[in-house]
Structure formats: C-alpha cells, structure tokens
Structure 1
Amino acid sequence: MAADGAKGDRELGQYLSSECVTCHQISGRYDGIPPIVGWPEDSFVEILSEYREKKRENQVMRSIAVKFSDDEIAALAAYFGSLKPRTD
C-alpha cells in the first residue's frame, strides 16, 4: 500500500501527471490552484487518498483521485516530490 512509506515509480508518476498539470502549475507557482511541486511524498499520498475516500471536499479532486490506485498515487507523489519549484 502506498501510505506505508513505499516509494512510488517516478516514471509512472510522470506518465500519469498530465491530468494533474492541467490545473496545477508544473512550475510550482500558485495561480489560484495550490502547487503540488515539491510536496513531501507522505503528505501527497495522504491528501490524494483523502480525496479518493471522500474525506476532503472538492468535486474535481474527488473525480480525479478516484481513478488512481494506491501504487499510482505513490507514483504521482514520487514524481511531484522529486520536482523543484522554478524560481524564474
């Protein structure tokens, strides 16, 4: 299970990230939608899992999170956690 500290597959996370970066800026900038670049993996997994389990309110995030398995969430966490926000 992703929440037990297992590291996700960054390459798979990058492949799956296209839907995320439709709204979340890959640069890490905040433009009304919270940035997810550079997030700690454990926090990313916890938050996305809470959307999937309907513990957090946001219809868009719930509809996206429900599509991902634990391994896919861990992969996304590994990918976004490995990125650094741009400073330019």
Structure 2
Amino acid sequence: MIDAPDADDSGEIVKEVKAASKKLYAEEYRAIAQSAVPEAIADSEDISDAQLKKLQNQRAKTPAERHQQHKAELSHGYEVNSYTNSLK
C-alpha cells in the first residue's frame, strides 16, 4: 500500500501496476514459448511418412504428436534429413 499524502485515491496507480504486470508476464511467456517450442520440435522423435499421414488426418493430438508432425513437415519442406533447432 502506498503511504503518501499525494497518493491517487481513484485506484489509477493500482490499474497501472496491474497493466504493467500483465504486459511483462505476456512478454516473458512469449519469450519462453518461442524458445521452448522449437527446442521441443527438434528433440521430438522422427516419424515415417505413414505416421505423418496418420497424424495429418488425426484431429486430436498430444503436444508430442504435434511436435513430431511439425518436425516431419519441416524436414520434408526443407528437404533435410533431420530438423534441428538451428533451422528455425
């Protein structure tokens, strides 16, 4: 609580702090997500073309299956044998 004679009684300070906190959290979350996902894709298991087709037709997928599918699609798209985090 702010104990100052000129403190804003309307709650503007609280609103500003909450807004700044939400913005900081969103930026940190985005940075973590952007670094974690390519790493998870690169570390995922390689799959066969038949497994890729199956995943492409599958509606509900686990995060691991999504990473495997994305890795296989990237490998085919870039015509490389293995996707690594440095290709992102």
TM-score between the two structures when normalised by the length of structure 2? 0.33
Structure whose alpha-carbon radius of gyration is higher: 2
- The answer to which structure has the higher helix fraction is 2
Q: Name the structure, 1 or 2, with higher relative contact order (CA <8 Å, separation 6+).
A: 1
